[in-house]
A = this chain, B = another copy of it.
Amino acid sequence: MGATALRAQDAASETDAGSKSAVTYMPILAQRQFVSNAKAIKATPYADFFTGDLTVSTDFARSLQLGTLDKAETLPPSVAGLNALLDLDHSATKNGYAVLDGSTSYVQSRHVMPGVSAEMLRWWFTWHEVERERYSLWFPHAHIENSVQDPQRLQDRTKTYEQRLYDNPNYVKELVGPTAMELLIRFKDPAKLGFDAKAFSDRGFIASASGIVGPATADDVINSMMIHIARDTDQGMELVSRYWIGAHPDLARFEGAEKAAGMMAQAGYNDSVAEMSAYELAVHDMIEFTHLASFLPALHARFGQE
């Protein structure tokens, strides 16, 4: 039975389409980080929003257990790939992971968030980097550190979201599966990444937290692109995400990407490592955005004026 047949079988199973499952696996280091994060957040005004009881969609979790996506189901990180993203029927696009050219870990996901608006997401992306404890709300077992290069600009409410976040390098330390990662995310205007600005807005996308990423320990290297674009729908905010981590040739348009292949080969990255990393990242994305959606409306109602 091939992966496609298994997918069909899964779709036809008795699973209730709306059913939720508790997260049934948490790596040891994440179990420990949770204890540490739980202590640290106690003295903050938003401690009530911290919980280790994480749940996800049963269908989403199972869709990640069917092996890698076929290449035809994926998108490359090219300009054409990004713009194809604007026209996809995301309700019919699978959540999943794959390995693409250049031993690139690839993840695609869609989260529909009832009660959440793109405005709340924008607020979240200017609020959570200010204190590491805020960041820990998002994934209480996995999130460790978070800061931006210019925190004053990030918090300047006289500026737009875009002026506050973009080109304000964001240092993050987090566990992805069992592995601690230290990354430098450069959030950017989606047009600078390759999106057609008119098509972006024509398709209703009104918020982006997308950028190029490299290891925090080598700030001249770019080895990833991360896309989070959002629009409001009748069912709540739709978040469309893509991650490419590796020496993918289509990332060559970004300065620093030429150094990715050498660095990743030296670190032992190959297709097999890329596959494991892609799956871990897919699980991480599933958990953190499902969890964010569960508390963001109430958090925003309480702290949205900050």
Contacts and interface: CB of A to CB of B under 8 A. Distances in A.
Interface of A: 1-3, 6, 10, 13-15, 19, 21-28, 31-32, 34-35, 38-39, 42, 51-53, 55-56, 58, 61-62, 65-67, 141, 178, 275-276, 279, 283
A67 B21 CA distance: 21
Contacts of A58: 21-22
Nearest to A65: B26
Given A22-B58, A28-B275, A279-B28, A65 B39 contact: no
A10 B52 contact: yes
Given A3-B35, A53-B15, A25 B28 contact: no
Per assembly, the copies of the chain total: 2
A15 B23 CA distance: 13
Contact of A28 (B14, B28, B276): B276
Contacts of A62: 22, 52-53
Contact of A22 (B2, B26, B34, B61): B61
Contact of A6 (B26, B35, B67): B35
A38 B9 CA distance: 11
A13 to B, nearest CB: 6
B15 A22 contact: yes
A56 B21 CA distance: 10
